[in-house]
């Protein structure tokens, strides 16, 4: 139980530090998180727990990942460690980072279609294999 209390204390402190760095008042952040100012103060002072949805709203308003609120640092994502072998795919993936959100969504949809086609082709091949 001690580890949980320490983690909760860190969340409140991390929120406070980020809020102050961005020069945001407790009242503004409470409003954006859709909670009362008294509830917000209890979260920041670590005397109350924040729901996941509240933490997501706070993180969004502070323009940070929820990992920064919980751990005080960004957590490396597992998919950052994927090793692509084809250099042209690596370059294309780097270019995707610079796209606007609409174009990124389109790129995701196109990739999903190509992957779905591959799975469908594999399924058709499996069906047509002699038994």
Q: Do residues 65 and 27 both lie within one domain? A: yes
Helices 52-62 and 2-21, interaxial angle, to 10°? Answer: 30
Domain range for 91 is 83-128
Q: Do residues 87 and 71 both lie within one domain? A: no
Confidence of residue 131 (pLDDT cuts 50, 70, 90): low
CA distance 97 to 123: 32
Average pLDDT score over residue span 8-18: 85
pLDDT of residue 60: 92
pLDDT digits (tens, 9 = 90+) for 15-66: 999 999 999 999 999 999 999 999 999 999 988 888 888 999 999 999 988 8
**Count of alpha carbons within 13 Å of 106, Cβ hemisphere only?**
6
Q: Do residues 96 and 65 both lie within one domain? A: no
Q: Do residues 69 and 7 both lie within one domain? A: yes
Average pLDDT score over residue span 98-102: 88
Q: Number of folded domains in the chain?
A: 2
Q: Do residues 26 and 63 both lie within one domain? A: yes
Q: Do residues 108 and 65 both lie within one domain? A: no
């Amino acid at each position: 139980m001690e580890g949980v209390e320490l983690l909760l204390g860190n969340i409140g402190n991390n929120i406070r530090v980020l809020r102050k760095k961005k020069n945001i008042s407790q009242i503004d952040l409470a409003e954006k998180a859709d909670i009362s100012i008294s509830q917000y103060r209890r979260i920041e002072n670590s005397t109350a727990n924040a729901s996941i949805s509240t933490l997501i709203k706070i993180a969004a308003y502070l323009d940070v990942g929820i990992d920064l609120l919980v751990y005080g640092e960004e957590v490396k994502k597992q998919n950052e460690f994927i090793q692509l072998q084809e250099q042209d795919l690596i370059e294309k993936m780097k270019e995707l980072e610079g796209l606007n959100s609409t174009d990124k969504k389109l790129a995701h949809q196109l990739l999903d279609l190509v992957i779905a086609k591959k799975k469908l082709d594999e399924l058709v091949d499996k069906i047509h294999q002699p038994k």
